[in-house]
């Protein structure tokens, strides 16, 4: 299988760098093809601005989404953006390796999302009609791929437990896991995490490395987080979860499928984007 | 009062640009002093890397937090970072004006947080002992200031309602409002929002402008979101919310004070950072 690693850390000798190297070595030894986007080494342009568009549809005023659509459809995207989209389409799985800074992805990685996730590529895909609001959240151009976050965290695990002061980890990661990975169609595996990352001992590294190898060996086996497909019949015409669903959960977890609920009833036309699931 | 506006949009003629201009005009007409950090115009360096440190404590390997602490305490931070910290300390209120891109702040604004929120300035403040885990979440160097997000959103309001497919807005904003604004001590006002921002009609603009003026006129009056102070006796020694608290809520809302709960019992030493509340 093809695995893309999107890696964001400025220091090759960091824990993130070591995890990235371990992932490359492990995945290749398992027979996978691996590509890496080392954002800091690439000096990835994180700022989304007019410099992204050589052929403007609206010269007077920058409307980023409109220019993004024009460039994507017209083939005038900047080369670095198009190259990353090709890698995503090549990949069967995408691993994001980064430190959790201020409870979200590093700016350089956010900037990768903002420039690579073009209109027509990652959003603005598929018809909007009634209960079907585009091909997203379980549909989209990246359908059939799996994604996993591998994150290093300075804080302690209890601080991110269900009642921990930082907020439950899956709530902290919601904008990324649901809003950025599941949105264009990827199946999202539970995150791999290393807590107290700044204080890792040699023994701690060995444990983390073993655990990471185990997760990597199961990359195409483990069950993804059971997010509800937007167009699976769960949400109404206002994209609000229908009454009676999610009764056993609260907060963001209402958006996960639960035992005992009716089977999915896909709405609207068949998703325009199909690909065999891996 | 002193108000800092941190503004992140590449196009002056954008809705964000117009809201920013309206805020400046309105606040000044109310007699406030206003400073603006226009991140795109400043070509703010969003990447946190070795280039931020002219005087390295650890030359062999970049440990960003360690260098941040060394530079902050030793006075060798880069000039742009120090200038932003001065603005934050000067401010009585901070307004963040930005488009919600992929459910979080634009990369350039994330990069402002990552570089300006130095160790010793925004985190790593105060003693860590037992139930007191530093001066954060309602304590810290920015105590006494108010913060408010003013965000433009492409999607529709129901999509961000309690059961909306994107997740409830306050859950989407949790990493920012709780994890980034409340963390160093600011009181966080409910966000000002403009939905369907790409489709705003002239009438829609007038309504939004009126609503924004109203929020701005109440900037120092409105009640902040009642986040629990970490060191207010609500959390145990593992920073986990104590049993019996938050019973009327779920998800991230357990971290908001509720009627009927015992009064705060501050723990540990008096917070080392004090300032009159505004």
For A199-218, how does the pLDDT look when each residue is reduced to its tens digit (9 = 90+)?
A: 999 999 999 999 999 999 99
CA B77/CA A247 separation, integer angstroms: 51
Give the domain range for residue B97: 2-224
Confirm whether A157 is domain-assigned.
Answer: yes
Q: Which helix (H) or strand (E) holds A136?
A: none
CB count in 10 Å sphere of residue A145: 25
Yes or no, beta carbons of B10 and A158 under 8 Å apart: no
Check which CATH number belongs to the domain holding B34 and give it.
3.40.50.360
Residues B57-88 have pLDDT tens digits of 999 999 999 999 999 999 999 999 999 999 99
A81 in reach of chain B (CB within 8 A): no
Confirm whether B253 is domain-assigned.
Answer: no
- The CA distance from A31 to the nearest CA of chain B, in Å, is 32
Name the percent of chain A lying above pLDDT 90. 87
Measured CA to CA in angstroms, residue A36 lies from A40, A133, A197, B217 at distances of 12, 33, 22, 50
Task: Assess contact for A93 and A30: CB atoms under 8 A.
Answer: no
Instruction: State the pLDDT confidence band at A272, using cuts at 50, 70 and 90.
Output: very low
What residue in B sits closest to A254 (Cα-Cα)?
B163
Task: Assess contact for A81 and A90: CB atoms under 8 A.
Answer: no
Residues A213-260 have pLDDT tens digits of 999 999 999 999 999 999 999 999 999 999 999 988 889 999 998 888
Whether the per-residue pLDDT at B269 is higher than 70: the answer is no
Work out the mean pLDDT of chain B and round it to a whole number.
Answer: 94
What residue in B sits closest to A99 (Cα-Cα)?
B64
Pairing of strands B93-99, A187-188: unpaired
Task: Assess contact for A136 and A145: CB atoms under 8 A.
Answer: no
Chain A partners of B241 at a C-beta cutoff of 8 Å?
163-165
Task: Assess contact for B132 and B238: CB atoms under 8 A.
Answer: no
Instruction: Give the rounded distance of the alpha carbon of B109 from its chain centre.
Output: 11
Whether the per-residue pLDDT at B206 is higher than 80: the answer is yes
Instruction: State the pLDDT confidence band at A273, using cuts at 50, 70 and 90.
Output: low
Confirm whether A111 is domain-assigned.
Answer: yes
Structure tokens at B193: 């929002």
Chain B partners of A101 at a C-beta cutoff of 8 Å?
48, 114
Interface of A with B in 90-119 (CB under 8 A): 101-108, 110-111, 113-114, 117
Q: For chain A, how many structural domains are there in total?
A: 1
Give me the torsion for CA of B123, B128, B131, B132, rounded to 10°: -50
Among partner residues B102, B240, B255, which is closest to A179 by beta-carbon distance? B102
CB count in 10 Å sphere of residue A150: 23
Backbone angles phi, psi at B70, to 5 degrees: -60, -45
Chain B partners of A161 at a C-beta cutoff of 8 Å?
238, 240
The predicted pLDDT at position A210 comes to 98
Q: Which of A143, A165, A199 is nearest to A15 (CA)?
A: A199
Chain A partners of B101 at a C-beta cutoff of 8 Å?
48, 114
Task: State the distance between the two ends of chain B, measured CA to CA, in whole angstroms.
Answer: 9
Measured CA to CA in angstroms, residue A26 lies from A195, A197, A213, B45, B133 at distances of 21, 21, 7, 35, 38
CA A53/CA A64 separation, integer angstroms: 9
Pairing of strands B128-129, B132-133: antiparallel
Interface of B with A in 236-255 (CB under 8 A): 238-241, 246, 250-255
Name the percent of chain B lying above pLDDT 70. 96
- The CA distance from A134 to the nearest CA of chain B, in Å, is 12
CA B164/CA B105 separation, integer angstroms: 20
Confirm whether B259 is domain-assigned.
Answer: no
A14 in reach of chain B (CB within 8 A): yes
Confirm whether B198 is domain-assigned.
Answer: yes
Mean pLDDT of B25-49: 98
- Sequence-ordered list of residues with C-beta below 8 angstroms from that of A12, at least 6 positions apart, any chain: none
CB count in 10 Å sphere of residue B177: 25
Residues B83-141 have pLDDT tens digits of 999 999 999 999 999 999 999 999 999 999 999 999 999 999 999 887 888 999 999 99
Measured CA to CA in angstroms, residue A254 lies from A157, A178, B135, B210, B270 at distances of 23, 12, 33, 35, 40
B18 in reach of chain A (CB within 8 A): no
The predicted pLDDT at position B264 comes to 76
Instruction: Give the rounded distance of the alpha carbon of B82 from its chain centre.
Output: 18
Confirm whether B216 is domain-assigned.
Answer: yes
Confirm whether B276 is domain-assigned.
Answer: no
- Sequence-ordered list of residues with C-beta below 8 angstroms from that of A15, at least 6 positions apart, any chain: A152, A194, A197, A200, A205
Interface of A with B in 258-277 (CB under 8 A): none
Give me the torsion for CA of B24, B26, B31, B37, rounded to 10°: -20
Confirm whether B31 is domain-assigned.
Answer: yes
Pairing of strands B192-194, B146-152: parallel
- Of residues A66 and A272, more confidently modeled: A66
CA B95/CA B79 separation, integer angstroms: 22
Structure tokens at A205: 């590294």
Give the mutation candidate from B130, B149, B166 for the A interface (greatest A CB count, under 10 A): B166
Q: In terms of C-beta density within 10 A (0-12 exposed, 13-18 middle, 19 or more buried), how is residue B221 classed?
A: exposed
Mean pLDDT of B141-158: 97
Name the percent of chain B lying above pLDDT 90. 87
The predicted pLDDT at position B128 comes to 84
Task: State the distance between the two ends of chain A, measured CA to CA, in whole angstroms.
Answer: 9
CA-based torsion, B175, B178, B183, B189: positive or negative = positive
CA B248/CA B252 separation, integer angstroms: 12
CA B209/CA B194 separation, integer angstroms: 10
Residues B18-34 have pLDDT tens digits of 999 999 999 999 999 99
Task: Assess contact for A88 and A6: CB atoms under 8 A.
Answer: no
Q: Is the ipTM of this complex over 0.90?
A: yes
Q: At what angle do helices B107-116 and B79-90 cross, to 10 degrees?
A: 90
Helices (H), chain A: 15-29, 64-74, 79-90, 107-116, 169-172, 174-176, 202-217
What residue in A sits closest to B184 (Cα-Cα)?
A102
Task: Assess contact for A129 and A40: CB atoms under 8 A.
Answer: no
- The CA distance from A107 to the nearest CA of chain B, in Å, is 5
Q: Is A162 helix (H, G, I), strand (E, B) or coil?
A: coil
The predicted pLDDT at position B262 comes to 77
């Amino acid at each position: 299988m093809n695995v893309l690693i999107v890696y964001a850390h400025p220091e090759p000798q960091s824990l993130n760098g070591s995890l990235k190297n371990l992932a490359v070595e492990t995945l290749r030894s398992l027979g996978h093809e691996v590509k890496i986007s080392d954002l800091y080494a690439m000096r990835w342009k994180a700022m989304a601005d007019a410099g992204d568009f050589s052929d403007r549809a609206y010269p007077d005023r920058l409307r980023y989404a409109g220019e993004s659509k024009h460039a994507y459809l017209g083939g005038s995207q900047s080369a670095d953006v198009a190259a990353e989209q090709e890698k995503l389409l090549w990949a069967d799985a995408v691993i994001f390796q980064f430190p959790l800074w201020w409870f979200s992805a590093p700016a350089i990685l956010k900037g990768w999302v903002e420039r690579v996730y073009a209109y027509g590529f990652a959003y603005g895909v598929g018809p909007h009609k009634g209960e079907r609001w585009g091909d997203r959240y379980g549909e989209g151009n990246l359908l059939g791929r799996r994604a996993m976050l591998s994150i290093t965290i300075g804080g302690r695990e209890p601080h991110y437990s269900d009642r921990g002061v930082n907020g439950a980890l899956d709530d902290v990661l919601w904008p990324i896991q649901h809003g950025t990975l599941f949105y264009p169609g990827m199946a999202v595996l539970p995150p791999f995490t290393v807590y107290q990352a700044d204080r890792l001992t040699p023994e701690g590294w060995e444990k983390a490395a073993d655990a990471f190898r185990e997760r990597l060996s199961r990359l195409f086996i483990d069950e993804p987080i059971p997010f509800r497909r937007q167009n699976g019949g769960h949400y109404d015409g206002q994209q609000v979860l229908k009454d009676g669903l999610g009764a056993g959960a609260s907060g963001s977890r209402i958006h996960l499928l639960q035992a005992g609920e009716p089977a999915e009833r896909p709405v609207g036309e068949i998703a325009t984007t199909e690909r065999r699931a891996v």
